[in-house]
Chain A
Amino acid sequence: MKVNTKGALGFGALLATSALLLAGCAGGGDDEGSSGGGDASAKLTVWVDANRVDALKDVAAAFEEEKGIEVELVQRDFTKIQADFAAQVPTGKGPDITVGAHDWLGGFVQDGLVAPIELGDKAAEFQEVAIQAFTNDGNVYGLPYATENLALMRNVDLAPEAPTTFDDMIAKGTAAGVQYPFVVGLDPANADPYHLYPFETSFGNSVFAQNADGSYDGSQLTIGDESGLAFASWLGQQGAAGTINLNLTQDLSKEAFNSGQTPFILTGPWNVADAEAKGINVAIDPIPSAGGQTAKPFVGVQGFYLNAKSDNALAANEFLVNYLATEPVQTALYEAGDRPPALTAAYEKAASDPIIAGFGAVGAEGAPMPSIPEMGAVWEFWGVAEVAILKGEDPAATWTKMAEDIQGNIGG
């Protein structure tokens, strides 16, 4: 029997279209959860990254049991959360709460995406730097759960004692007789201002002036002052001496440390587990000073933001302030992420681990990474200038031009 191929084709297309329509509707139906507030069975939607989903399952269940409000944990790729949140909130979609880094705050506030939360008396239970990081113009915009910062990771077998200054570290590293005296992961095209910043602060330099409450004043750029120039000339010397090498990327520097080719690496808590797995005997030390003052790294704080257009603001606040700001939850989050908790009680518990205590002690000295929108302009020029200096351009001229460019960009 002949098959009516023409008809079959047409219907195939028709079926495909109907399937697509169905899929489209199914996709469209998902958004109801976040916009259909107002009924008694309200539902909180929370975006979390893969590492923290399991840590929040218990507290979500507890909230549902005690308050009768379902908490839906949606797993998202952390690298995409910032852009997705910024894209979805204005359209009335997006989650009630999302996990995020504090340095997104400036942009979020400028775009009107996040609502302040009122911690009340709980604010005092957090590390000061964590609350500072989430403060913008006097309001707290997120519930911090962890801090992260750089510190000096030392291979105890190669260097038994912590170095006192940068030069001392290079001397100790050279004495160890391995390939590199000291490594820090950089990027050949953009250096890495974040990783070099502790040395910059050891000359007394900062990017912006800080207000009394620890927030940054975007109108006062301090990066180009005398102390900045001192750092620039020091950086030029290191580039010439080869102690700071642009082409040692994150991967290569990590590899060098994990294979015992260097006693010192400037890095964060994210690389500790791999080093220990490779059998390296690790200790965490304060970052040695290059310019005589304390080397203070940027502190990054992770937290949870509240959507400014959430229909479930009260429930979300309740969940944030009275559930996520508790010691067991913060401890669970710490165990999932290996970063010092932001809640003091949880931190004290976690600090029994010398690694966490080491990072925490360095972080307590540090200042939060500026989250003001002006910072965007800084990143763009900062790394490029550091690359030029490390390659042997005139440090003072390059640094001054960078400061002028940043100022022009902020003003413009």
Chain B
Amino acid sequence: MTLPPVETDLPTERRDPATDKRHRRAERYAEAASAGWKVWLVKTAALAIIDAAAVYATMVLAASDQWVIAGIVALVTVAVNVVYLTPGLLPAKYLTPGLIFLLVFQIFVIGYTVYIAFTNYGSGHNSSKDDAVNALLLQSQSRLEDSATYPITVVEQNGVFSLLVTDPETGDAEVGNSEAPLEPVDAEFSGGKAIAAEGYNTLQFAQVIANQKEIGAIAVPVSDDPNDGYLRTTDGSSAYLFTSSLQWDPDADTMTDSRTGVVYRDIGTGAFTADDGTELLPGWVVTVGVDNFVRAFTEESIRGPFIAVAIWTFVFAFLSVATTFVLGLFLAIVFNDPRMKSRKYYRVIMILPYAFPAFLSALVWAGLFNQDFGFINQVLLGGASIPWLQDPLLAKIAILIVNLWLGFPYMFLVTTGALQSIPDDVTEAGRVDGASVWQIFRYIKFPLLLVSVAPLLISSFAFNFNNFNLIYMLTGGGPRFADASINAGATDILISMVYKVAFVGQLRDFGLASAFSIIIFVLVGVISYISFRQTKALEELN
């Protein structure tokens, strides 16, 4: 195949090669001299910005003890500097920004999802063990019934904070801290409240606030018996008598309920567990191995809906592609016929559903399908009362109808393009050989069309497989399965079910949702792989 000569706007006078070479060299020098310092300046400025930002980020991260991320930022910065400061390495200069984005937005996200899938992360297990212990202790302390409010002043001696307490009954001043129980002290009073004591410095509010973590943690025992409770302050000006029902023993790693005497131990399940199996929540995040995957496939109340949803996902994706493709192709053929008048305007109208945001369309359709007040029942069906979105089967049909409406313009567009690219002489040849119109379409046009459209059909399948917006906006996945232990419904597809498991309601299970996500990823990946292998066979037509 020969290409037509490319027209250039350069003057095409002939020069002899030597002059030509000299000219070119001179041009190169000139360019290097003029553009070089500008390029260098831009490059230095950009690198300086990046390095400054990275140094700052590393410092901030290091200050908040995020060593891993700080290390990564530092490494990446060094790598960027190396790439852009070494001459040559041209491919790397182009690929580096993309690679960084790929790492941050793709690889990391996928990796993290995989990690979560192997943990029990979710409601009641969302943080570290230390946090869980703190939360349990906070929650287990309660104010002693009908105990009085103790006016206090925070005082300090040799860097140790104490509470200067005015006994609400006797009006005497006492001082104490976590280590030392209350003991009487000489104090000066103001309005019946001790405000200063001999040998102690009284803290102003700002100083209290500056040390609020330590001061908030002071628990002053009121006597030698721990069951009498202890005084704690929550605001720095008054203290209350608290008792705690849970005792934390860090050495034995146990929580003991002082009211019942039950001992809760850490048995590796991510929560303190008593011998009879009752758990104290909050717990913490632990890795649970393949538990989540095992649950998805074995626990009856999850497996049932999971399999039903998976089947519907395939059916939905396949039928969506099939119906939109058939309708789009039919319309494309019709509008491709030269006998059709004013095709342009029809085509514009055909594209309209594609131009509306799918979010909006789904919401509008949900209103149209309302059983008693929707346009479809009221106007089109003369006041019929068809439960479009409440009946499992009808809801599925409604979803397919809406998706057909949303999806056929796309198929119409791509098939129009593919049809117009099929040369006319192929059909001519068929006609000369005496093939009928149907035969020409079936044996000539359609296979040629599939060559270019098949990959689009596969991607459309993958898109519909995860078409969250439509399901969420139109039916919300309902009507719900009445007997499922996870929140799933008859029209849920896998992705909307994952969303509900992870983010809807009070019982969130990020671990299970991540496991589902990985299963979806594997499914879509395998299907796409097999399908693309199949389309290779089509390519041999050409």
**Chain A residues within 8 Å of B, Cβ to Cβ:** 1-4, 6-7, 9-11, 13-19, 21-22, 24-25, 28-29, 32, 35, 37-40, 42, 67-69, 83, 86, 90-91, 106-107, 109-113, 115-118, 120-121, 137-139, 188-190, 245-249, 252, 308-309, 311-315, 317-318, 321-322, 373, 375-377, 379-381, 384-385, 387, 391, 401, 405, 409, 412
Q: Is the CB of A412 within 8 A of B60?
A: no
Q: Is the CB of B390 within 8 A of A387?
A: yes
The CA-CA distance from A382 to B141 in the complex, in Å, is: 35
The CA-CA distance from A111 to B235 in the complex, in Å, is: 24
Q: Is the CB of A18 within 8 A of B60?
A: no
Give 16 pairs: A residue, B residue, CB < 8 Å, sorted on A: A1-B35, A13-B96, A14-B47, A14-B97, A15-B46, A17-B97, A28-B60, A38-B210, A42-B210, A67-B206, A90-B126, A107-B506, A111-B282, A116-B139, A314-B236, A375-B506
Q: Nearest 9 pairs between A and B by C-beta?
A: A112-B135, A112-B282, A376-B506, A90-B127, A247-B372, A314-B212, A13-B97, A18-B50, A189-B478
A197 → B minimal CB distance (Å): 18
Please indicate the chain B residues that have their CB under 8 angstroms from the CB of A22 in the complex: 49, 53
Q: Is the CB of B126 within 8 A of A40?
A: no
**Chain B residues within 8 Å of A, Cβ to Cβ:** 31, 34-35, 39, 42-43, 46-47, 49-50, 53-54, 56-57, 60-61, 64, 80, 84, 90, 93-94, 96-98, 100-101, 123-124, 126-128, 131-132, 134-136, 138-139, 141-143, 149, 205-213, 215-216, 233-238, 240, 281-282, 301, 370-373, 387, 389-390, 475-476, 478-480, 482-483, 485, 487, 503, 505-508
Q: Is the CB of A188 within 8 A of B389?
A: yes
The CA-CA distance from A384 to B489 in the complex, in Å, is: 11
A196 → B minimal CB distance (Å): 17
Q: Is the CB of A39 within 8 A of B138?
A: no
- The residue of chain B having its C-beta at the shortest distance from the C-beta of A377 within the complex is B507
Given contacts A11-B42, A37-B213, are A317 and B94 in contact (CB under 8 A)? no
Q: Is the CB of B205 within 8 A of A67?
A: yes
- The residue of chain B having its C-beta at the shortest distance from the C-beta of A320 within the complex is B235
Q: Is the CB of A28 within 8 A of B57?
A: yes
Given contacts A112-B139, A189-B390, A247-B373, are A314 and B215 in contact (CB under 8 A)? yes
Please indicate the chain B residues that have their CB under 8 angstroms from the CB of A137 in the complex: 139, 142
Q: Is the CB of A13 within 8 A of B94?
A: yes
Please indicate the chain A residues that have their CB under 8 angstroms from the CB of B126 in the complex: 86, 90, 111-112
- Contacts A314-B234, A391-B387 known; list 19 others, CB within 8 Å: A9-B94, A17-B97, A21-B53, A21-B54, A28-B57, A37-B213, A40-B209, A109-B139, A115-B138, A116-B138, A118-B234, A120-B238, A188-B389, A189-B478, A247-B373, A311-B212, A313-B213, A318-B237, A380-B487
Q: Is the CB of B209 within 8 A of A315?
A: yes
The CA-CA distance from A362 to B378 in the complex, in Å, is: 38
The CA-CA distance from A91 to B64 in the complex, in Å, is: 12
The CA-CA distance from A118 to B143 in the complex, in Å, is: 8
Q: Is the CB of A314 within 8 A of B209?
A: yes
> Of B234, B370, B483, which is within 8 A of A405 by CB?
B483
Please indicate the chain B residues that have their CB under 8 angstroms from the CB of A376 in the complex: 505-507
The CA-CA distance from A116 to B240 in the complex, in Å, is: 13
Q: Is the CB of B235 within 8 A of A318?
A: yes
Q: Is the CB of A37 within 8 A of B212?
A: yes
Q: Is the CB of B478 within 8 A of A190?
A: yes
Q: Is the CB of B480 within 8 A of A384?
A: yes
Please indicate the chain B residues that have their CB under 8 angstroms from the CB of A313 in the complex: 212-213, 216, 234
Please indicate the chain A residues that have their CB under 8 angstroms from the CB of B136 in the complex: 112
The CA-CA distance from A42 to B209 in the complex, in Å, is: 7
Please indicate the chain B residues that have their CB under 8 angstroms from the CB of A121 in the complex: 149
Q: Is the CB of B100 within 8 A of A17?
A: yes
Q: Is the CB of B46 within 8 A of A25?
A: no
Please indicate the chain B residues that have their CB under 8 angstroms from the CB of A189 in the complex: 389-390, 475-476, 478-480
Please indicate the chain A residues that have their CB under 8 angstroms from the CB of B281 in the complex: 110-112
> Of B34, B131, B210, which is within 8 A of A39 by CB?
B210
Please indicate the chain A residues that have their CB under 8 angstroms from the CB of B56 in the complex: 25
B394 → A minimal CB distance (Å): 12
> Of A2, A139, A379, which is within 8 A of B31 by CB?
A2
> Of B35, B53, B478, B507, which is within 8 A of A25 by CB?
B53
